[in-house]
């Protein structure tokens, strides 16, 4: 009996770090009704055109003690692209750009999180148009927890980065007589997420 108790005690000690980490981690789901991924790109080298994806889903496993140990996973429904111009949206969904029928989603999975003087950066793999590349998101948040009128606990994050669309095989373009491209290569990304804490 003494030997059994000793083994049980050692097992408990071995499991303690994992149990402690689990107790410090809470799971948050992205609320797609209140979250967007916005993009801005240069048009005709004279102005900016913006649009957004209105269907963003995913989860954040948030480590309350050490945010750098958190994990992020998000999926964007590419067909939800909205630039407020119907013909342009159809073109973006076509094989000229995102090719929605072949590549229906954009996915992000974090690999590591860096906290530098209170400024967070989330580094992870972004898969878009069949190509996966590592990107760095500059993050604002999380906001403090807030109780909504429907019994949910919410908080928010914002993140931004700049991508070169050609890195992901989005190369379609036209050139003006002066040599400038109709659509710029660099795309500014702004992501705004509202999260709901998983109950229990």
Checking if the pLDDT of 18 tops 60, the result is: no
In a domain, residue 131? The reply is yes
In a domain, residue 53? The reply is yes
In a domain, residue 140? The reply is yes
In a domain, residue 125? The reply is yes
In a domain, residue 179? The reply is yes
Other residues' Cβ atoms within 10 Å of the Cβ of residue 2? 6
Domain housing 48: 25-197
Question: What is the CATH classification number for the domain harbouring 185?
Answer: 2.40.128.110
Q: Which of 116, 108, 115 is nearest to 135 (CA)?
A: 108
User: What pLDDT band is residue 58 in, cutting at 50, 70 and 90?
Assistant: very high
Q: Which residues, at least 6 apart from 189, have a Cβ–Cβ distance to it below 8 Å?
A: 37, 38, 39, 159, 160, 161, 162, 163
In a domain, residue 1? The reply is no
User: What pLDDT band is residue 13 in, cutting at 50, 70 and 90?
Assistant: very low
DSSP state of 72: E
In a domain, residue 4? The reply is no
In a domain, residue 78? The reply is yes
Which of 21-25, 51-55, 157-161 shows the lowest mean pLDDT across its residues? 21-25
Count of domains observed in the chain: 1
Contact 186, 173 (CB under 8 A): no
The stretch 5-25 carries a mean pLDDT of 52
- What dihedral angle (degrees, nearest 10) is formed by the CA atoms of 155, 161, 166, 168? -40
Considering the chain, what percentage of its residues have pLDDT values greater than 70?
84
User: What pLDDT band is residue 127 in, cutting at 50, 70 and 90?
Assistant: very high
């Amino acid at each position: 009996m003494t030997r059994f108790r000793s083994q049980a005690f050692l097992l408990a000690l071995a499991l303690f770090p994992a149990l402690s980490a689990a107790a410090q981690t809470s799971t948050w789901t992205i609320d797609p009704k209140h979250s967007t991924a916005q993009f801005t790109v240069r048009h005709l080298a004279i102005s900016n055109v913006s649009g957004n994806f209105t269907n963003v889903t995913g989860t954040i496993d948030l480590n309350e003690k050490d945010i750098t140990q958190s994990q992020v996973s998000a999926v964007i429904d590419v067909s939800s692209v909205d630039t407020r111009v119907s013909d342009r949206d159809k073109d973006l969904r076509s094989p000229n750009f995102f090719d929605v029928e072949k590549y229906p989603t954009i996915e992000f999975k974090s690999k590591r999180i860096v906290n530098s003087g209170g400024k967070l950066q989330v580094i992870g793999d972004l898969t878009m148009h069949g190509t996966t590349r590592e990107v760095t998101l500059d993050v604002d948040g999380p906001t403090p927890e807030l109780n909504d009128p429907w019994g949910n606990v919410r908080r928010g994050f914002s993140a931004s980065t700049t991508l070169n669309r050609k890195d992901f095989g989005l190369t379609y373009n036209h050139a003006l007589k002066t040599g400038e491209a109709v659509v710029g290569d660099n795309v500014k990304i702004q992501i705004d997420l509202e999260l709901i804490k998983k109950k229990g």
